[in-house]
Chain A
Amino acid sequence: GAGVSQTPSNKVTEKGKYVELRCDPISGHTALYWYRQSLGQGPEFLIYFQGTGAADDSGLPNDRFFAVRPEGSVSTLKIQRTERGDSAVYLCASSLGPVYGRMNTGELFFGEGSRLTVL
């Protein structure tokens, strides 16, 4: 499909386990973002990639969270030693590159999310 694809759509794990969440952005979008959305809240910024590099990881809550984008396309969000408080929907979004000029409207295109439940 032409949209942002995220897998798995649902993940149930036990406290202390390791999880990986995958995002495949829209073809041609160099910018990729991870957000986290808890129940009743808006999406919360985690990390931004421009190409292969993490240009802004200021939203990652602690060092248990890590994300990579080795070839500048697919990205993986990795969570170590999961805790019950990590339960949320993890949203990936992509957009055209940096906001220069008029081509980039500021719109983010989101995937449907990966719903993580930590028991």
Chain B
Amino acid sequence: RKEVEQDPGPFNVPEGATVAFNCTYSNSASQSFFWYRQDCRKEPKLLMSVYSSGNEDGRFTAQLNRASQYISLLIRDSKLSDSATYLCVVNPGGGYNKLIFGAGTRLAVHP
């Protein structure tokens, strides 16, 4: 079993749609959680951290359920520029940023 599992997609949605991505992780001792965004043939970049209380950044909302070892990302009012691969990321701890990445979920937003 992979340490971080995601639905690979692709999710094809029209502009303005709301789309949700889910992710599960296997290490219950994991300490911090993130969503990274990766554009085609570019490097991954941090989109947002994920907290148990849930957190929001504009149109993006992230949620963590530690009991279920489940992470989600909700994108509201999708834009063409949101088209990318969204990587679910877990830090198992240890005092440094040894991040474990999922394989990513591809999103394609069309006019």
Contacts and interface: CB of A to CB of B under 8 A. Distances in A.
Contact of B102 (A42, A95, A98, A113): A42
Interface stretch (A11-19, A43-51, A61-69, A72-80): A43-51
Contacts, number: 63
Nearest to A56: B98
Interface string B35-73: 000000011111001000000000000000000000000
Given A31-B97, A33-B97, A44-B101, A106 B91 contact: yes
A113 B40 CA distance: 13
Contact of A99 (B43, B95, B100): B95
Interface of A: 31, 33, 35, 40-45, 48, 50, 55-56, 91, 93, 95, 98-100, 104-108, 110-113
